[in-house]
Structure 1
Amino acid sequence: MNLNKKVFFISPFLLAMSSFSMACMQDTAEIRNQVKNAIIANGLAKTKVMSMYENCKLRANVKDFDKRNDVELNNTSTHNQDDNIDKAKYWYRGMGKSQYISLDQNRYTAIPCVTEGENDYCGIAPAYTYAKTYPKTEKPKITIEFSTEGLGWLYNEFTTKHECEYKVEAGTLSYGLGKKGSKCKVPPQYNTGVEFNKWLSTNEIQAQVAYVLLPKNP
């Protein structure tokens, strides 16, 4: 029996080109290389920061790129709101490298500072502009946006239902999720951090990277 067989050969060059085209091509090759080098140099190569940049979900601020000592990455899909505590749907926390890596490793299901550090306030605020400046004396900075079920939902859970306190910080209000965080009255053992991480783990609250600030030469 004579069987007609067709053999298709795909050159290694075409395979390489196909793989390369999957990366975000909206920045110039020079900027792409510098951004990726900064991500690697800051120890974030194996986190979502790298994959989000490659997929164009994080975009580099290219204005005066060569003149700046830092690489600034912005998420094109986050809401980046500055809201009042009782109206907010989106909440923010600025993190340093080690805390962010821990969050990434647990697949964004638990904020590490809820249980780490005896004196941690572990704040979240409804103000993106405020949160992205934290941690004040540390780089890289990674800002996480937490999306809740609706406007004022977290305020209703924490303050209306459980009378949890909040803190005034630089013109905004925040809840503390750490061991030195917000205290509640109804009941006194209600723990804001434990509850918040429970909502994260069950996807009632969703987390994603909103902003990244990386020194080019850490």
Structure 2
Amino acid sequence: MLDAVCKAEGCTRPRVTKGYCHGHYVHHEYRGLTTPMGKPKHFLTNVDLGEETATCALCGDNTPVLISYRRGTGERYARMCLSLYPGVQERALNRLAKSSYVLTATEREALLERQGGICANPSCDARDDDTSRWTRLATDHDHRSTDHAVRGLLCRRCNASIGMAPGDSLIGVLGLAVYLAAHERPRMAGVLDGLLNEVVASAGVAQV
């Protein structure tokens, strides 16, 4: 396995591109400079991978950071301060500001334990695996509520399925269930359709 450390002399930061850390890649490869770079202005310490924050030498404490994964091992690490990417930083700050659905590491661990370490969908057995963002269970929250309350932890596929359902709601999912039942389980289609009508009536909206 290749060394995971930047190949620039004296640098101990993780390698990202062409054997260099991000700072040395920009310094040597992009800008074409050959002089020693030294410690970056946005040098990070006290990294909290769970909260995705760190102490930045320039920006201060609890600064949002960009999290990446090391090739081969999948280990998470803080790549850089998000102030270097204003658009990304703004989105991260907005996400952190909505604390009603941003779980702390402790809250997420407790919720994951209640789910048995797997996706909250009873028909899915995908386990939480933090070696990759694609296998780590995503935090699902209610986009329609004002407080964006957390509903559970879902695998990427299940989370995307709910998000793509009409209205991101129970009505949208039940509508798809009626459609599938009509083709796969015709006897169940009537039962599901009745349940859908009941939910629509209780929600006080007209079925489309």
TM (norm. structure 2) is: 0.27
TM (norm. structure 1) is: 0.26
Q: Select the structure of larger CA radius of gyration.
A: 2
Which structure carries more relative contact order (alpha carbon 8 Å, separation 6+)?
1
Whichever structure has more helix as a proportion of its residues is 2
